[in-house]
Homo-oligomer: A and B are copies of this chain.
Amino acid sequence: MGKRLGKQTIMFSNSAKIIGNYSIVGEKEGNGTFREYYDYVLKNDTFGEKTYESAERKLIEHSIANALDNAGVKSKDLDLLICGDLLNQIISSSFAARDFDLTFLGLYGACSTMAEALAVGATFIDGGYFNTIACATGSHFSTVERQYRFPLELGNQRPPVSQWTVTGAGCTVLSDKGSKKEIVNATFGKVTDFGINDVNNMGAAMAPAAMSTLITHFEDTHTTPDDYDLIVTGDLGKLGSEILLDLMEHKGYKLKDNYNDCGQMIYSNDQKVYQGGSGCGCSAVVLNSYIMQKIDEGVYKRVLFAATGALLSTLSSQQGNTIPGICHAVEIRKGD
């Protein structure tokens, strides 16, 4: 059984094995950087549903069903589904869970949800409480845009610091056995707030949380950034990633070429999305496509996946509150 290092990190001894994963994305994402890595690219972003919210629920359902297929696990043999999303009252996750008749743990960590779910799931596996757990999340450009910002019909201009919410969902299946790809530790994050109140500048709001969790992780595990083949944040975007690099350098940590950000990577330069991608789906689909494949290929042996979330609501911002952020991290390794 694992043990805690420092205040926030758990080093596992019965590491959760990653036995299956799946990614599904919208057309825009399918035309982005990782086009050949996704399992499924939608032709139509309603996915055959009447509402965008139903489409988001279906994206999550589809990712869970197919990740289980990839893992060779029948849904009746799955012990637990850990899931969350950005919509009010995480309806996409709850409604997806309903259709599987599964034991369900609902989380809310905004865009940190993929890492939060993996951290909780890996802890439950390490302790032997559950044998097989699916961790999933997703987002949809049109649901998030109209919930958090403006009606889609308004077609409003986007500020240059903005990011584009990823349409997509990803699912990772964890088990107590069956793979050499495993989650070896998890660092649970603190809520961090540097006083940013620009709801279009999520990267700046979340970068301090990423700094807090990364530094805590390095200290707790006695590692340095150089020990990792890839350190990847969730959806800081280009500006947020630059802010993180600055913050880390001020604290004496120089992140180099082995650092990147899912939001920064996911779209190609000609896609006009300003700072890049965001949303729960952003880090979920990049992790469960490109990153997992590169781990399988042996390109990355040691990956620190640190997804960040901005903990605001439309109401909290309307009432003049700043935007707290959180970042949870898991280390994924591939044994020989």
Contact = CB atoms under 8 A, between A and B. Distances in A.
Nearest to A80: B188
A3 B131 CA distance: 11
A98 B315 contact: no
Given A10-B129, A51-B319, A107 B108 contact: yes
A136 to B, nearest CB: 14
Contact of A108 (B106, B130, B311): B106
Contacts of A316: 53, 89, 91, 95
Given A127-B123, A129-B2, A188-B80, A104 B326 contact: yes
How many copies of this chain are found per oligomer?
2
A123 B82 CA distance: 15
A94 B311 contact: yes
Contact of A7 (B97, B103, B107): B103
26 contacts: A1-B128, A2-B127, A2-B129, A3-B129, A7-B103, A10-B129, A53-B315, A87-B313, A87-B315, A88-B89, A88-B314, A94-B326, A95-B311, A95-B316, A95-B321, A97-B324, A98-B311, A104-B326, A105-B116, A105-B120, A105-B188, A106-B107, A106-B116, A108-B108, A120-B120, A123-B124
